[in-house]
Every structure is written in C-alpha cells, then in structure tokens.
Amino acid sequence: MNTKNNTVIISGGTAGIGLELAKLFAEYGNKVIITGRTKERLDKALQLLPGAIGIQCDISKPEDTGALIREIEMKHGEVNILINNAGAAHVYNLLTENINAEEKAREEMLTNYLSIIRLNEKLLPLLQAQKESAIVNVSSVVAYVPGKLATYSASKAALHSYTQSLRIALDKIASTVKVFELMPPLVDTEFSAPIGGQNGIPASEVATRFMQGFRENELEIRVGKTEDIYHSYLSNPAEALKMMNQDSK
C-alpha cells in the first residue's frame, strides 16, 4: 500500500495507538481525519495534528455512524483508508458476584466488533470506488489467545474471525480494498492502564511497525510479543494460553 497522499479516517484517533497512527500518517503527507467521543478530547488531539480534521462521533451509536458517513460522503469523498481503532474494555473477574458481566460484555462486543461491521458496511461502497483502498481493523494479541480480560478477548477474537471473512469475500470479487489487521501486544496507553499498561510497549512503536507492514502489504501485522504468542499458539496452544495468563489467580 502507498503510505502517502491518502485520505485516512481513524476512529478513536484522540489517544494511544490511534493518535500515534494519525501522527505518522500526517507526517507522511496524508489527509487525516480522526473521530472521538468528546469535543474536548478531539480538540486536544488536533493540537498535535496540524491540518488534521476532527469529527465527534461515538461509533457504538447508529445515529453517530450515520452522521459520520454523511459528512464523509459530502466533504471527504476521496477517503481510501479506514482504520477501526475505537475500543472498549472492562477489567473484572468473571467469578465476582453481581458484576454484570453480560452488560460489560455487551458494551465490548458492540464497540469492538458490531460497530466495526456497521461502519465497514456503510463505507465500503466509497472505498471500492477508489483505485487503491484499505480497511484496517485494530485487534490484539488476545484475538489468538485469551488474556485476563475474558470478554474483551472474546470481542477481539470475533473481530479477527470477521476480518478474515471480509478479506476472503473482497478477494473473491477482485476488489481494490485490502483488509489489514493490526495486532498489538500490551501497549502503554491510558486505555490499558488498569491492566498494567505501563509494562507494555509504546504506542509509537506500534504505529511504526504498522507503517512498515502496511507498506509491504502484510495483512496480519503482529507487533512485538504478538508474534511470539502467535507461533506458540500454532505449535502448543496450551503453552500459549499459559503464557498469556501466567499472572492470573
């Protein structure tokens, strides 16, 4: 994929991996559009992204997604890269009584999986009209092997499966849309702080590795320890599960 002269939209682009991706795409001379749930976070992020465009949007809400699509079609019809980075996660023990696990899992599945399907479906006609385009779904190492966040892991596993199916479907019609999956390990972000994110790699490292894989058409971009977990998963699934949950009680 060409990493220059694109128009890129990044959901959840106000912090963490999304913000670092936005910075790199901007540095490479692309038109960058980011979305965020609140105006405050958007304004703060845009101070770090000269020339970028911010659109307030909660992709878990159908009405917000509809408004986003209309604005893109009217003002940014040349969009050719969609990066689905917005996410939700809850830290809790499945065995704790009255934890409302179903409610937490529902929010994670809606944001991390179902909302992405909706946004991809709505934007696909525009992407397919471009000479070269891409969908990037940001999943996680837990798409292969579940970690401490059980229902979050399940939502990322669902996203991984869907990503593969979407790629196959588009390949069958020789579409110009390539489907990538970015699979980071633990990353040091505000998002991951509750699970020891300070022990993870910098978000900037994830963005740099992504750009390398994106340029080389590496459809599953496994960052850092994700590569190790992936190979362990292929050779010894039980050992991979142990590696991912070695500190669990």
Residue 82 is predicted with a pLDDT of 98
Sequential pLDDT tens for the chain (249 residues): 999 999 999 999 999 999 999 999 999 999 999 999 999 999 999 999 999 999 999 999 999 999 999 999 999 999 999 999 999 999 999 998 889 999 999 999 999 999 999 999 999 999 999 999 999 999 999 999 999 899 999 999 999 999 999 999 999 999 999 999 999 998 987 777 777 777 789 999 999 999 999 999 999 999 999 999 999 999 999 999 998 988 644
pLDDT score, position 247: 64
Q: What is the pLDDT of residue 189?
A: 78
Starting from the edge strand earliest in sequence, which strands make up the sheet with 177-183, in order? 53-56, 31-36, 7-11, 81-84, 133-138, 177-183, 220-222
| Separation of first and last alpha carbons in the chain | 44
**Segment holding 33, helix H or strand E:** strand 31-36
Spatial distance between the Cα atoms of 157 and 154, rounded to a whole number of angstroms = 5
Q: Full-prediction pTM beyond 0.75?
A: yes
What's the topology of domain 7-244? Rossmann fold (3.40.50)
User: 96 — phi, psi (to 5°)?
Assistant: -70, 135
For the chain, the structural domain boundaries read 7-244
Alpha helices in the chain (DSSP H): 16-27, 39-46, 62-75, 101-109, 115-128, 150-172, 203-215, 225-235, 237-244
